[in-house]
Structure 1
Amino acid sequence: MMRIDDMKIIEHQSIAANTFRLVLEGDLVNEISSPGQFVHVQTGSEAHLLRRPISISEFNQETKQCTLIYRAGGEGTKLLSKKQAGDKLNVLGPLGNGYSLPEQASSCLIVGGGIGVPPLYELSKQLTGAGHHVTHVLGFQNKEAVFLKGEFSELGLTFIATDDGTEGQKGYVTDVIEQLNTAFDIVYACGPTPMLRALQSRITNIPLFISLEERMGCGIGACFACVVKQTGNEQNYYKICCDGPVFAAKEVVI
């Protein structure tokens, strides 16, 4: 159930170039039902009325805490990065539909790009906890932008790709995937649209689930600001904020 909560900031720190880890505490966490959901955060400035959508990287309902990882790129998120432990943050959520876990034991490939990596961490934790085998391929611009490498490595084999080759393999996540001599049963991905489009064109023989990144207005499906065309009928659209953000790749035209 969606709710609005004034959540307490427990931790807030920089973990990579312009990237921050924010730990929040509040009753809203009890409503989170699946990895891949997100929240809409109020930055606290009258000059920035629209909330900022941020994916949930990790949550623990026993402690009522959740972790958000975001990039401070625009004025709103830069303002958010100035918040300190002990401050309150007005949060709307949880929003959207997340990832579903396989019913049978599976070999899973998780593919993340940039700020699309965070929601995949909770997904990987739940997959490994349920007995699935997980491999991660994560892409970043450069070494300074890499985060959660150690955390993912504790859950399964982890490969890093960077645009300039300063960390891991130089190139794209698709370059790494092509070199893996492994058969997978299912693929989960989140990242920039060009990355998702490349995966969609290459992975056609096994299920591929993708989480779409998009600018949002209301976050609850009322404003139609975030839409994606439906496969088979491009006159119809899904609303990413409430129909997604996670879709079977075969369902959408990206």
Structure 2
Amino acid sequence: MIRTGLMEVVRNKEIADRVYEMTVIGQQTIAMQTPGQFVHIRVADHAEPLLRRPISICSIDQDILEFTMIFRVDGRGTELLAAKRPGDTIDVIGPLGNGFPVVASPEERAWLIGGGIGVPPLYELAKRLKESGVQLTIILGFQSEKDVFYEQRFRELGDTFITTVDGTHGLPGYVTDQMALLQNVPSIYYSCGPHPMLKAVEKALPNIPGFLSYEQRMGCGIGACFACVCPTTEGQGSYVKVCSDGPVFQAGVIA
């Protein structure tokens, strides 16, 4: 169920270099049932910036009607969003898109693999899987130590490994470097991050079922503008819309 309306900012703070954690409260939270969905936010009360910003849902607390999102300041729109203070309101459409199916069974081993701003949607998923008795191995990749966030929160849910490209924290290199060192083999995997990372993860786990959440620039967020189309593996002329068909797809669908 898609809802739209104003939500009130409860908290908004910087948790890593230009990375903000914002918690808001409102009735839209009732409809947030699936990890991996996103919201579309109008960041200002005037015409500029014109387009809404898609932000993934990081965690959900339906008992108090709050949800949390994490975003990186990377332009005019997110700068305005970072400037919001408790008591301010934001115009939210959501939840949108298809999220992660929580299909792993108790006692199975699931790998959660996130890169950069692709880490947040894995947090609610990790909580749901943990509650279901699934054993978790969590691999999170960042550019540098200053970019790392939620490390301790993920450690509370499962075996967690951090990689940084420059080697300033955790294992130097990429998430696939850490994956190659692990002894346990997953029954299923879930991943979110830049397209090259997702393709590398997919290649490293060719015979294991997986679900990948794709990051893509969006216009409308509801499948009407075709700004977020991606080609599929079915061949020339076959496309999906990340906002409405995804953002989560089974491994092997996106080319």
What TM-score results when the alignment is normalised by the length of structure 2? 0.97
The residue number in structure 2 matching 1:69 is: 70
- Structure 2 residue ranges without an equivalent (≥5): none
Q: What residue is the counterpart of 2:97 in the other structure? A: 96
User: What letter corresponds to residue 40 of structure 1 in structure 2?
Assistant: H
The correspondence for 1:119, drawn from 114, 118, 121, is 121
1:146-157 equivalent positions in 2, closer than 5 A: 146-157=148-159
- Write the letter of the residue equivalent to 1:36: G
SS of the residue corresponding to residue 104 of structure 1 reads coil
SS of corresponding position for 2:237: strand
Query: Aligned residues: percent identity?
Result: 46
Q: Aligned to 2:176, what secondary structure does the other structure show?
A: helix
> Distance in 2 between the 1:104 and 1:43 partners?
39
1:224 alignment partner in structure 2: 226
Match of 1:3 in 2: 3
CA deviations 1:198-233 (Å, max 9, x no partner) are: 112221111011000000000000000001112223
Conserved 8 A contact 2:38-2:54: yes
Displacement of 1:103 in angstroms is 5.1
Tell me what 1:194 maps to: 196
Residue 41 (structure 1) aligned with residue 41 (structure 2): yes
Q: Does 1:109 align with 2:111?
A: yes
Distance 1:233 1:240 in 2: 17
The correspondence of residues 169-180 of structure 1 with structure 2, limited to 5 A, is 169-180=171-182
Kept after mapping to 1: 8 A contact 2:188/2:210: yes
Deviations 1:134-172 (A, max 9, x none): 110000010000000000000011000001111001000
Structure 1 outlier segments of 4+, above 4 Å: none
For 1:113 and 1:101, the matched residues in 2 are separated by: 20
Is the 8 Å Cα contact of residues 104 and 110 (structure 2) preserved in structure 1? Answer: no
Distance change >3 Å, CA 200–CA 103, structure 1 → 2: closer
The farther-off stretch of 92-101 and 43-52 is 43-52
The whole-number CA distance in structure 2 between the counterparts of 1:151 and 1:130 is: 18
Return the letter of the residue paired with 2:65: K
Aligned residue-pair number:
253
Q: Is the 8 A contact 2:97 2:244 kept in 1?
A: yes
Offset at 1:79? 1.2
Ranges in structure 1 where 5+ consecutive residues have no aligned partner: none
62-71 vs 39-48, greater mean Cα deviation = 39-48
Question: Root-mean-square deviation (CA), in Å?
Answer: 0.9
Verify: 1:140 aligned to 2:142, yes or no.
Answer: yes
The code of the aligned residue for 1:65 comes to: E
When normalised by structure 1's length, the TM-score is 0.98
